[in-house]
Every structure is written in C-alpha cells, then in structure tokens.
Amino acid sequence: MALIKLKIESFRKADYTNGSKGSINAFINPDSYSLTNSNNFSSFNIKGDSAQTFFFNNTGGSILKIDKLLVDGTGIVPLSGFKDVDGYLNELSRLVYEYDGKIHMPPYVRITWGNLLFKGICTSYNVKYTLFKPDGTCLRAEVSLEFKASVDPQTKVNEAANNSPDLTHARTVKAGDTLPLMTYRIYGTSAYYMEVARINNLNNINAIKPGDQIYFPPLKK
C-alpha cells in the first residue's frame, strides 16, 4: 500500500472550495494528533437553589493539535521541491498561519489524512529548530500546530436550527432590547414575555439591562 501523507489545503473562502492558495503535504507524517470537542452551557439559578441547572448554549467546537511535525533536511527523505528546511517552513506558514491581506485574516485550511477530515483556522504555529549546519543553517525542525474548527456560514445555517421554539435559549440583553421584543424573536410572538419574566425571577419586565442573560424555555405543546 502506497504511503499517504497528511495534506493541508489553504483557502481564502470559508466554504473550503473557492479561493485556493495551494496545498502542502507533511514532510514526515506525525506520530499522533489529538482532537478535543466541547460544549458550552450556562447555569440558571433562582435564589435559594441548592443545585445548578444547566442549559445548552452552543457547541464549543473542535480543536485539532498536531505535535512534532518533523521537517528534515539531512537527505534522509527528499525535500521534494523545497530548497531547504526554511523553504518548507516558509511555505507551510504562508498556507496555514500568516495574515493574508486579501481577506484580512489568516487562511482557512482543510486537513486530510486517512479518516481525518478537519476544516478550520490555525490558532497556534510553533517551530523548534533542532539541528544545524556549521554555518547555522537549519537542518531539522519540529512544527507544532493547533487548529480550531470553522464551519462555512451556509452549513451553519442548515445545521444549527437554533431558532426553534422547542429549544432552551440563552440570550444576552443588548442596548434597546425589551423583554417582549426578545420573546418575539425566539417564539415568533411576544405573548410569553410574562412567563419568561417568571422563569428568570424578574420582578418587573423592565428590570433588564445590557449584559444580562435571559433564558427562554421550550414552549409546552
């Protein structure tokens, strides 16, 4: 079976199909990688409660960490089109981490290797230089990369379905918000604002201010 190397593709568009900047393969495949997933919750407490109740806010997203991506310029493995280790590192940095003036941010990246398919942005790029020629030219380096998942806007709209009145929502009050208006945005009607006030232990429907967090429970069917 032919050796398949980890591949990183770079894009200027969040849909990971348009605006390609190019791609690069791992010089030597990493020994391991890690995927971390998380969810974000808010707690809703009424004064005197003996325990907390948590409501789902959103998916915290996935984080991919690749440690010790080895780049070797001693000739053990061909550099495959790159002059030296620094040439490879410069291209890797351009494709995954450096600020792109055309989109005013670093690029989006798609990483594939075996069953791994990860789409996101690079949040950390670290290089450790470990071997040198007598003149100081780098002969070997280890790259550690961290990526945070990023979903294209259309997929997010299609999958989130976070306007459903059957879900518990947590919303932060913004300037100009009123409880009836916020209730209307969630349920499509302001008729439930008194129930929302009761759930949030509000003595007055006007007793909200920017920065407050208000909970909107599912509608009873």
Lowest-pLDDT choice from 49-53, 88-92, 205-209, 210-214: 49-53
Of the residues 137, 156, 175, the one at which a domain ends: 156
* Distance (Å) of CA 87 to CA 22, 42, 72, 99, 132: 15, 47, 12, 18, 15
**Residue 165 sits in the same domain as residue 205:** yes
Confidence class for position 40, pLDDT limits 50, 70, 90: confident
C-alpha–C-alpha distance, residues 181 and 201, integer Å: 18
**Residue 187 sits in the same domain as residue 201:** yes
- The alpha carbon of residue 139 and the mean position of all alpha carbons in its chain are separated, in whole angstroms, by 33
**Residue 167 sits in the same domain as residue 211:** yes
DSSP characters over 181-195: HHHHHHHSSSTTHHH
Instruction: Kindly state whether residue 1 falls inside one of the protein's structural domains.
Output: no
Query: How much is the CA Rg of the chain, to the nearest whole Å?
Result: 25
For all residues of the chain together, what is the average pLDDT?
87
Global pTM exceeds 0.75: no
Structure-model confidence comparison of residues 5 and 206, the more confident one: 5
Provide the CATH number for the domain around residue 33.
Answer: 2.40.30.200
* Contact of 138 with 57, CB cutoff 8 Å: no
**Location of structure tokens 């005197």:** 48
**Location of structure tokens 């620094």:** 86
- Reported as a single tens digit per residue, the pLDDT across 54-91 is 766 677 789 999 998 999 999 988 888 899 999 999 99
pLDDT(155) > 90 = no
Range of the domain at 25: 7-156
Confidence class for position 154, pLDDT limits 50, 70, 90: low
